[in-house]
Structure 1
Amino acid sequence: MRTLIQFLCFLMTGCFLNAAELFFDLTDKSNAGLPADFKSVLGGQGKPGKWIIRDDEVPGYFKSFSEKALNTNVRPVLAQVSEDLTDEHFPMLIYTGQNFKNFTLKTKFKLVTGVIETMAGIVFHYQDINNYYYVRASGGGNTFAFFKVVDGQRGEPVRVKADVPEGQWHTMSVTTDDSKIRVTLNGKSILPELTDYTFTGGKIGFWTKSDAVSYFADTEIQYQPMVIAAQRMVGEIMKAFPRLLNLKLFAPRKQDEPAKVIAAMNSSDIGEMENDSIRDVIARGKKYYAKNKKMVTVTIPVKDRNGDPIAAIRVSMKSFPGQTQANTFARAIPVAEHLQQRVLYLEDFYR
């Protein structure tokens, strides 16, 4: 997905300090007709939803200077167009690019048609198809509601009356601040502030129900970038071993994927891709040693609870006269053990 990412420091009320902003580009159709990093999932029963990009007339980004002036333009929108009449049928489109914890997610939406339902909503803190939060607007029922799904069971809603005419564009937003959840409809608070500790972060996405044909446009999210567990672990290591000159942790996102630096002493190293030695360390558990006049560098495996290599840690230390390969590894092994005490599975790096 071609996204526009800007790292900003928001100083106005309601935004996050040192936040990032992500806009979703709906002109990209590289993912089977959808933007990259989106995945269609289905909650409940029936056939999968049908998500497409189509053109529609959408209100402009800014208000017109005159009430009589038209302020719309035709541009691509995201549309869920399946008309499956199954009642417990919840098509969702999930953004898989990253997880979010504290954020404000805002989108325009339009309730187009539906016999069983005319609904549209936002999924957030999505863990999997059985665990997530969502808010939704209902045109047929004239309501707006918050729901929590845990282990596939939908809890009692927090629901209010709301005027959401069909065939018109509206705006909804969700703001999460740790356990606090705030929701707006057309720029005004629509639900009481909620507090829930079930999910502390996760993915975001779009939600519909049954045969509701719904459109979404101008979706953006302002968020505090999440610090993954691996980076926190590296921070702990640098405090515990202050004489280290450099440290890089290489790991794949999933097994059989290429490894890259996911945490490091120097943030500029994050994203560096694996080389042959890193692949050898992770695939075979081998160790590597390099030395020059100023420092020694060793690369050693980090293992899971079964003793299988899942990552590689590259440690650089100051060299000294008489230093041997054996005592260099002896100095580096406690660093790897510091990680292994905190990691049972590969996924633990990304929590």
Structure 2
Amino acid sequence: MKHVIAGVCVAVPMFAFAATTINFDADAVGALPAGWTAGSTGGGTPKWSVTADPTAPTSPNVLKQLGTGTFPWCVKTDVAIADGFVEVKLKPLRGKEDQAGGLIWRWRSGESYYLARVNALEDNIGLYYVEHGRRKQLMAADVEVPPHVWHKLRVEFRGTHIRVLFNDKLYIETDDGHINEAGAVGVWTKADSVTEFDDFGYDGRQ
């Protein structure tokens, strides 16, 4: 059964494992983080790199996307997770078409993965799967997403069950079985979104 929870209370995590957290502070400014790869589903010219931001939750560095593309992504390919969680702090900065940022899990390629994202222009949160390079929406919920502010996005997944939390409130909970295999985890943007990411965490089980 599919349903949306309005996010009126603080959610209890489905998983309570100690996460591996990456704050990008050990990575070289101007390059991709070690062990990560970048691209764009649907084409484009994404420009992912580590950059300095004194407002970062864990300063001084963040991961930033400055280019354009249909759906730019950046994933940690030396991780393969089937069940667990992934989370990140993100800050939408600008974009005329979109101001979006999200999380990817069970990433098999740029043509196949799950995605949860928030959009500061639309003030909503959405859950999708990408199959054969086509993004298909599973659920959505309205939520205020102010730009130029750091937010926390977290996804918990086990088997077919998926929970999406934004700023520690549960907004989406559902079941879907389109992608079951273990895959990489990472971050995502859309179109001309300029978005920063910090404190990327995952459960670390292989």
Flag whether TM exceeds 0.5 (same fold): yes
Contact 2:92 2:195 in 1 (8 A): yes
Aligned position for 2:164: 183
The match for 2:66 among 62, 65, 81 is 81
Aligned position for 1:129: 110
The match for 1:43 among 18, 41, 44 is 41
- Give, in whole Å, the separation in 2 of the partners of 1:182 and 1:99: 19
1:199 aligns with 2:179: yes
Q: Secondary structure at the match of 1:155?
A: strand
- Give, in whole Å, the separation in 1 of the partners of 2:107 and 2:131: 10
When the two structures are superposed, what TM-score results if normalisation uses the length of structure 2? 0.86
Aligned position for 1:97: 78
- Give, in whole Å, the separation in 2 of the partners of 1:99 and 1:115: 34
Rg larger in structure: 1
When the two structures are superposed, what TM-score results if normalisation uses the length of structure 1? 0.52
**Mapping 1:1-351, distance limit 5 Å:** 14-16=14-16, 19=17, 21-29=19-27, 33-47=31-45, 49-58=46-55, 60=57, 74-82=59-67, 84=68, 89-191=70-172, 193-200=173-180, 201-223=182-204, 225-226=205-206
Contact 1:28 1:36 in 2 (8 A): no
Task: Provide runs of 4+ in structure 1 moved above 2 Å.
Answer: 12-16, 27-32, 57-60
Per-residue deviation, residues 124-149 of structure 1 (Å, max 9, x unmatched): 11111111110110110111100111
- Identity between Structure 1 and Structure 2 (%): 24
Aligned-residue CA RMSD in angstroms?
Answer: 2.1
Aligned position for 2:4: none
- Give, in whole Å, the separation in 2 of the partners of 1:25 and 1:59: 9
Contact 1:27 1:35 in 2 (8 A): no
- Give, in whole Å, the separation in 2 of the partners of 1:143 and 1:160: 6
- Report 1 or 2 for greater relative contact order, CA contacts < 8 Å, sequence distance ≥ 6: 2
Contact 2:23 2:61 in 1 (8 A): no
Query: Which amino acid is 2:26 matched to?
Result: D
Aligned residues: 194
Q: What are the ranges of 5 or more consecutive residues in structure 2 without an aligned counterpart?
A: 1-11
